[in-house]
Structure formats: C-alpha cells, structure tokens
Amino acid sequence: MHISLDYHSDVPVYKQIVRTIEDAILSSELKKDDGLPSVRKLAFDIKANPNTIAKAYFVLQSKGYVYSKPGIGYRVASPSKRSFEERLEELDKTLERIVIKMSRFSLSKEEIKKRTSEIVEKVFDDGCN
C-alpha cells in the first residue's frame, strides 16, 4: 500500500496516514485481518518518527478500523458499510466547495462541467490509480 505524504500540508502527518489507511480499508484495498506495516518499518519508509506512526495507528484503533496484538502487529478489523457512505458524502462536500470557488472565478456552469468532465476522463485514462 502506498502512502503519499505532504509534509508541507497543514494537515498533520498522522492524520494523512489515518485517512489514507481508512480509505484503503473502506475501498477494500485492505481486507479484514490484513496486516499493516509495522510502526518502525513505516516510520523508516516514510521518514517519520515512530511516535507519529504510533499515533496514527492509535487513532485508527480508537475508531475501530484496526486492532493490535502484542508481538503480532496491527491488522485491519471488519469495516462498516456506514463509514463508506459517510466518506463519499465527505468527498462530495469537498467537491462542492471547489465548484463554489470556481463559480466565483466567473466560470459558467457549462465551463465548470466541461472542466470536471475532462478531469474525470483524464483520471480514468491514466489507468486505475
């Protein structure tokens, strides 16, 4: 699983990790009982401090996405359908915010639709990211 981080973002690193893994679980990229990379390994891989990873995993555990056993590591728990829908609505809202911004730049409805359409095409042309 690939975790892309933006260290210059305002979103704290641990939250970026949480969201990435959350999404991977909700989208079934990570399935029940799949193992997560170990705290130390992931820390090394993304050049972060183990504590930061630990915090991300701790949050994921609090939210019920994963469980951990001493000496075994973290594994994904069974996801709930509900969170899946919630996440989609969240994405919709973010999308809406962008469209509003675009509309303020005096782009017409048709221009925005064209723009978004092109982006969707582009994403699917680039292959199944």
Partner DNA sequence: GTGGTCTAGACCACG
Partner DNA sequence: GTGGTCTAGACCACC
Residues that bind its own copies (CB under 8 A): 7, 10-12, 15, 23-24, 26-29, 49, 59, 62, 69, 71, 84, 87-88, 91-92, 94-96, 98-106, 109, 112-113, 115-117, 119-124, 128-129
One-letter amino acid for residue 62 of the chain = S
One-letter amino acid for residue 100 of the chain = I
**Vertex 17 angle, CA 30 and 73, to 5°:** 60
116/47 Cα distance (integer angstroms) = 35
27/7 Cα distance (integer angstroms) = 25
Residue 78 touches which of its own copies, DNA, none (CB < 5 to 8 A by kind)?
none
Residue 77 touches which of its own copies, DNA, none (CB < 5 to 8 A by kind)?
none
For the CB of residue 42, give the shortest distance to its own copies in the complex, in Å.
18
For the CB of residue 95, give the shortest distance to its own copies in the complex, in Å.
5
CB 32 within 8 A of CB 46: no
Among 68, 84, 87, 112, binds DNA (CB under 7 A): 68
30 class by beta-carbon count within 10 Å (0-12 exposed, 13-18 middle, 19+ buried): buried
Residues of the shown chain interacting with DNA in the complex, contacts defined by CB under 7 A: 10, 12-15, 36, 38-41, 47-52, 54-55, 57-58, 61, 68-74
